[in-house]
Amino acid sequence: MTERFNLMKTSPYFTVCREVGNCIVTRNNDRGYLCGYCAVPLSLVDEVDTEKFAGTVPVHGGVTFQRPDESGEYWIFGFDAAHRGDENVPGLRDPDVILRMAQEMEAWILQQLTKS
């Protein structure tokens, strides 16, 4: 299986907090905020306007990151908890909460992309 999330794992700006299946949570090393990401097979988004689609994903603060991974096998969608006021919401500092949100985002995206 191809390594997903290489960009996040090798970035000097982020530290990986959690990784389960096709989801990962990172913490910004300077500001401490968390980000959640999910990887979906690139073949599912081949004919999708990803910019427009990303605007429909129901995740905290909306999708703030999207691009193909380095292998060209996955499309990465991500969100962050760095919005104004997020620092005052305790759950948004918990990697397990962000992981759950990333998993919910992945499930929603897969459901939308595989509708017949």
CA distance 49 to 98: 26
Give 81-109 pLDDT, tens digit per residue. 999 999 999 899 999 999 999 999 999 99
Write out residues in the chain with pLDDT < 50, as ranges.
1
Q: State whether CATH 3.30.200 applies to domain 6-113.
A: yes
pLDDT at position 115, please? 83
The order of strands in the sheet holding 65-68 is 14-20, 23-28, 34-41, 74-80, 65-68
Check residue 116 and give its pLDDT: 56
The answer to whether the CB of 52 falls within 8 A of the CB of 5 is: no
pTM for this prediction: 0.93
